[in-house]
Structure 1
């Protein structure tokens, strides 16, 4: 399937998708950000257009992992740690960012944005920044890092929540083991 067809498919899936009914947890439920120097291991993740490599990961509860994210694709991608409900909620925020013009297929627009014009009245629209500690955006050809200390034992996902990407399969499994 060509990139154009995959993107068209992703857009269709997004248009017809139904929001998750579950109440999302917070990032604190899955752990907390950490300094790169405190990482006990580094995991390199390659992002291509609509795929992660590797697609599955296992970490231990209490482990601090430094993720090095390399976007080898032509599109903006996100690396976001969470469960399915968290991703469903974050996808709504990302869609608003795209619809407002704050985010394009290749990057974020920060300079010159009239945040007051995006919401109702003079209040800026919620979710216009991408500053969740469990998430990072990586522009095409760029590298970024996220260091995280995992808590609890549960099954999580790492996903790209740029509109349509998750639905097109840009999601991996992350098991947090004891």
Structure 2
């Protein structure tokens, strides 16, 4: 019974929020690119990020420009270890859609696509802390960091995190 309650609670928390608002996180929230005080380019390679770590200041709004130079779809996801572990379970369930998205939408700007619709509302791409970037594509994610927290940026495409596609994000 406890497992059923936990499953129901998780299902409710994964529902999309209303009025276009993103789910709040203790470490911050999505922000419009116009509010960014700094831009950080992150290159997504096959099983690596450049840079390998990122430092930000509490209160800072950072625009991440994500460039996928790899041959595989990659994700840029902000969260703690537990959030990444949960998101990886969701990604396994949606694995087929991740890899067929590029074939079905050739010529589209995947960074601007609503992946929550493509991947299902509970997938996690509707929370503002994640963007899926197809090979050869660019995308952006802008985030205001509120307070110090042990978080990481990671790719949660199945197997990528485990292969080392994760880096520390230090909020000072």
Which 5+ residue runs of structure 2 have no aligned equivalent? 1-9, 11-22, 106-119
- Give the aligned length: 139
Among 140, 152, 164, the alignment partner of 2:159 is: 164
Distance 2:100 2:159 in 1: 11
For residues 52-97 of structure 1, give each alpha carbon's deviation from its aligned partner in whole angstroms, at most 9, with x where no partner exists. 0001111011100000000000000000000100000000011111
Aligned-CA RMSD value = 2.5
Gaps of 5+ in 1: 1-22, 111-124
TM-score by length of 2: 0.73
Matches within 5 A, 1:131-150: 131-150=126-145
Query: Quick check: which one's helix share is greater?
Result: 2
**Equivalent runs, 1:69-148 vs 2, <5 Å:** 69-98=66-95, 101-104=96-99, 107=102, 127-128=122-123, 130-148=125-143
User: Which residue is equivalent to 1:48?
Assistant: 45
1:104 aligned counterpart, secondary structure = helix
Structure showing greater Rg: 1
TM-score, length of structure 1 as denominator length = 0.71
